[in-house]
Structure 1
Amino acid sequence: MARPYNKHTYAGGSTAVLLFLAVVLLVPPLPRALAIGVNYGTKGDNLLPPAKVASFLANSTRIDRVKLFDANPDMVRAFAGTGIKLVVTAGNGDIPILATPDGAAAWVAANVAPFYPATDISLVAVGNEIIDTGDQALITNLVPAMRALKSALVAAGFRKVRVSTPHSLGILVFPPGPPSTCRFRPGLDRAVFAPMLDFHRKTHSPFVLDSVFSAMKALGFEDVEVMVGETGWPTKAMDGQVGVGPVEAAEFNRYLIGEASGGSGTPLMPGRTFEAYIFSLFNENLKPGPVAERNFGLFQPDLTPVYDVGIMKDGVQTTAEAPAAAEAGAPPEGAPAKAGNATKEA
């Protein structure tokens, strides 16, 4: 029988984690009454215009941050004046030119300057899961691109905009045992992650997860802060997949919200809150791959909740079909014991 899975066990553990480069040094944690984000993808032919989506999120939900997978100007503009913090993404193909001062400055001029600060762009993600591509040119240019982009943002006066890069957990080696045994993949630890983590340390900026924390600790960078960039649970999957459905997804995400905002932390990082982004905002009917990839959404394309996870401002579920999650206490069977704590979970 197929095992239950969430966004991380799917596709070989493709959790996205964000490595932050904070521009403002020693900034205290943001207040987190709820502090939950969502990944906003657009691979659907039935999705509402970005302006309507942004207005709905700002006025009807408690979601306070959104992560985009590109820097589409219509989407960035749609969040102007909403108070929602926005993560925009520079494509993998942009990385070589972003590694140059002129290229980074041009990208900022085109993708940040026209919108900020009306749109609260809080972070620019450089590429997506670059290590997994195996492209040595991209890997070699990744940290230089992050540094150049940060410098370009500061030079343009956008000092509060951070820079990061998403990774899958494929950057780690998972020996038998608890998360504390995890290490970065040989060949990447000293060549890529040591200089990257050194930069994080100097800028007091965060990494992600107990598993990643252990790998960071092995390199001497346990003081770098952490966050969760992408995590979720599908409501539908291929036949025979167990532990998948609206009830399980609601239970998982309600638990995630409680753990991310509650301050209990994880066994290796107790007493911490985590900036977290749920995958994903919508069920996207044009996404390729298994059935589950099209069924991670919190909402249907018409903004009807798929299930109740406690993020509506008025606390009222708008559809009778959307099941309520159990009270936060434990994630569904097959989920990590604590959000961000199990070996391949964020």
Structure 2
Amino acid sequence: MYDADHGVLRAFKHSGIEIIIGLGNEYLKNISFSEDNAMDWVKVNVEPFLPETRIRGIAVGNEVLGGTTPELWEVLLPAVKNIHHALDQVHLAKVVQVSSPHSAAVFATSFPPSAGAFKESVMPYMKPLLEFFSRIHSPFYINTYPFLAYISDPEHIDINYALFLKNPGIYDDKTNLHYDNMFEAQIDGSYAALEKAGFGKTEVIVSETGWASHGDPNEVGATVQNARTYNLNLRKKLAKKKGTPYRPKTPVKAYVFAIFNENLKPGPTSERNFGLFKADGSISYDIGFTGLKPSSASSLLSSFKVCELLIHCTSFMFIGKISLTSY
């Protein structure tokens, strides 16, 4: 969840579904100013809902470093520390993990995977953040989108490589590793960047990935067929619980973006069409996850008891049992 909507949190009471809630970027300054502000936020948005609602994480900010608001870069770590301290004070630090997802904008290079490296401009903020997360055993969360890479250069990127379909792949001369899909190449680029920064033992988890089913004329590849292909093949890959070429013993973990189309979101048409379900609750396309036909989508939604909250719910995890997050 990009927020901590109380209606959504109540809706998942006793559901058994694990949830990561978000502390929005607009609150970072206030939370960073004092531990009391962080404690107030935890007591209002976390503590009252546990253990009935299985809140398992707090994402402090979203895509802050490398973003277009540098003043937030300085307050991210203090906000993270204050939230973690508040959780520790109420004896929840071992139950609720603190994290902060990043976009690909934090990287200076990511291709080939072994060349992955963080931008020098973000390192003064990234390194101390990674040091703190290393101490509290939090992973590195990255939003990974082969779709965005493909539409930025469709003439030179093989769409089959982006969609997990048969293709020649790419070869990384430095590691002597072959990649037959962009998704794993992007993950290993993150591992390479972490190693260069001195955090080679940090686990990488994909906090967002998906494919748009519709787009503007210049958004080549944004089709229902491609979206279904990407998410279906991603689901199959994650279900195998295998690692990447560079980290074969660390099972890949990823959250799919999104459950629902965000029909009121500004920006390009693709931004409003990442959902497995449409904003009205009908199914966009079937990837074999629900086993439902379009006419029976409502039964799934009612079983989650969130029919009135559809617009909030947008991503979930294909790892063993389902963990659901909502934006």
Select which of 129, 141, 150 maps to 1:196: 129
Deviations 1:258-300 (A, max 9, x none): 2233222212221322332111111222111111111111012
Q: 2:263, 2:114 → 1: CA distance?
A: 38
- The corresponding residue for 1:164 is 99
Asked whether 1:184 is paired with 2:118, we answer: yes
Judge conservation of contact 1:91–1:126 (CA < 8 Å) in 2: yes
Alpha-carbon RMSD = 1.9
Q: What's the offset of the Cα at 1:301?
A: 2.9
What amino acid maps onto 2:126 in structure 1?
F
Q: 2:82, 2:218 → 1: CA distance?
A: 48
What amino acid maps onto 2:26 in structure 1?
G
Q: Which runs of 5+ in 1 are unaligned?
A: 1-67, 321-346
Structure with the larger helix share? 2
Q: 2:126, 2:206 → 1: CA distance?
A: 18
- The corresponding residue for 1:213 is 191
What amino acid maps onto 2:203 in structure 1?
E
Deviates more, 1:158-167 or 1:195-204: 195-204
Instruction: Give the match's secondary structure for 1:107.
Output: helix
Judge conservation of contact 2:65–2:126 (CA < 8 Å) in 1: no
Asked whether 1:301 is paired with 2:279, we answer: yes
Q: 1:148, 1:201 → 2: CA distance?
A: 16
Judge conservation of contact 2:14–2:52 (CA < 8 Å) in 1: yes
- The corresponding residue for 1:78 is 11
- The corresponding residue for 1:31 is none
Instruction: Give the match's secondary structure for 1:114.
Output: helix
Q: 2:212, 2:72 → 1: CA distance?
A: 31
Give 1:1-346 correspondences, 5 Å limit.
68-99=1-32, 100-159=34-93, 160-174=95-109, 177-189=111-123, 191-208=124-141, 209-239=187-217, 241-312=219-290, 315-319=291-295
What amino acid maps onto 2:63 in structure 1?
E
Q: What's the offset of the Cα at 1:134?
A: 4.3
Instruction: Give the match's secondary structure for 2:229.
Output: helix
Q: 1:218, 1:135 → 2: CA distance?
A: 25
Q: What's the offset of the Cα at 1:205?
A: 2.3
Judge conservation of contact 1:180–1:211 (CA < 8 Å) in 2: yes
Judge conservation of contact 2:99–2:133 (CA < 8 Å) in 1: no
- The corresponding residue for 1:44 is none
What amino acid maps onto 2:289 in structure 1?
I
Judge conservation of contact 1:259–1:273 (CA < 8 Å) in 2: no
Instruction: Give the match's secondary structure for 1:167.
Output: coil
Q: Which runs of 5+ in 2 are unaligned?
A: 142-186, 297-327
Which one scores higher on RCO, CA 8 angstroms, separation ≥ 6? 1
Judge conservation of contact 2:23–2:59 (CA < 8 Å) in 1: yes
Deviations 1:102-148 (A, max 9, x none): 11101101111221211111111111211244444421121121111
Paired residue total: 249
Q: 1:293, 1:319 → 2: CA distance?
A: 25
**CA, structure 1 residues 197+317, in 2 after alignment: closer, same or farther (shift >3 Å)?**
same
Judge conservation of contact 1:253–1:309 (CA < 8 Å) in 2: yes
What amino acid maps onto 2:37 in structure 1?
G
What amino acid maps onto 1:198 in structure 2?
E
TM-score by length of 2: 0.71
Identity of aligned residues (%): 37
TM-score by length of 1: 0.68
Deviations 1:189-241 (A, max 9, x none): 2x122222222222232114222211110022110111010111011111254
Q: 1:136, 1:235 → 2: CA distance?
A: 32
